[in-house]
């Protein structure tokens, strides 16, 4: 997925969309940009504009295409009952590349996507090269034996000493193996307003 200049996109959608833009360097760049634009008053956004921005934030953060996101939304809303926003969140978080990212093995989702597509991981002992593969409770995600010597996994235990893995994942860093022990939980005040995204697609 080609995404274009990250600083420019993050300036429009917010720094949380990329790991690269959650840095002091980006903050300084933003401060300089704000000084240049201080004489211009921003236009208020319509409801559609707000929905569009939130949709784009989710897309770029998870590194997925428009078609992928619309398919996830359709799946989350196809059955009545339950919270569609929670269903959508589970679908997004359960992607294999996101699991690798959440485990802390990859410092960005883009790197996690590359690692999975290059076949560095197994799901229940089977090599899986599809970043969008949906894991479920009980699945075991582990590094392929031949990949463990790769620089990608070097000093992993040391790197993750102060890292907190989400509660729905149980990670054995010494074995580079994780068990999906539950379901991702959507929390109030999270990074995205998925209800706004659902409103965009319900037009």
Pick the more confident residue, 35 or 90: 90
Tell me: the pLDDT tens digits for 14-29? 656 666 555 666 565 5
DSSP, residue by residue, 70-99: HHHHHHHHSSSSS-HHHHHHHHHHTBHHHH
Instruction: Specify the pLDDT at position 188.
Output: 77
Residues 51 and 30: their CA atoms lie apart, in Å, by 23
User: What are residue 142's DSSP bridge partners?
Assistant: 122, 177
Residue spans of the domains in the chain: they are: 6-37+45-85+194-201, 92-180
As a dihedral over the C-alpha atoms of residue 129, residue 131, residue 137, residue 141, rounded to 10 degrees, the angle is 50
| Mean pLDDT, range 124-134, rounded to an integer | 98
Q: Would the pTM of this model clear 0.85, i.e. be above it?
A: no
Report, as an integer, the average pLDDT of 70-80: 93
Q: What is the pLDDT of residue 11?
A: 57
Between 57-66, 79-88, 107-116, 136-145, the lowest mean confidence (pLDDT) is in 79-88
* CB-based contacts of 77, cutoff 8 Å, min separation 6: 84, 87, 198, 201, 202
Instruction: Indicate the CATH number for domain 92-180.
Output: 3.10.290.10
| Residue pair 121/85 in contact by the 8 Å Cβ criterion | no
pLDDT of res. 132: 98
Amino acid 6: pLDDT? 62
């Amino acid at each position: 997925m080609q995404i274009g200049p990250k600083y420019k996109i993050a300036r429009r959608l917010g720094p949380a969309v990329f790991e690269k833009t959650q840095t002091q360097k980006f903050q300084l760049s933003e401060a300089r940009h704000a000084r240049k634009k201080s004489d211009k008053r921003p236009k208020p956004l319509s409801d559609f504009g707000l929905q569009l921005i939130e949709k784009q934030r989710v897309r770029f953060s998870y590194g997925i295409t428009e078609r992928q996101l619309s398919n996830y939304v359709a799946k989350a809303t196809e059955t009545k009952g339950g919270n569609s926003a929670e269903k959508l969140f589970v679908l997004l978080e359960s992607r294999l590349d996101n699991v690798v990212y959440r485990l802390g093995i990859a410092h960005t989702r883009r790197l996690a996507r590359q690692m999975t597509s290059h076949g560095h991981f197994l799901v229940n002992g089977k090599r899986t090269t599809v970043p969008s593969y949906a894991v479920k409770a009980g699945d075991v995600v582990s590094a392929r034996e031949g990949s463990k010597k790769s620089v990608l996994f070097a000093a992993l235990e040391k790197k993750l000493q102060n890292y907190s893995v989400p509660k729905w994942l149980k990670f054995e860093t010494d074995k580079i193996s994780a068990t999906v022990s539950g379901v991702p939980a959507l929390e109030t005040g999270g990074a995205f307003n998925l209800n706004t995204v659902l409103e965009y697609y319900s037009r």
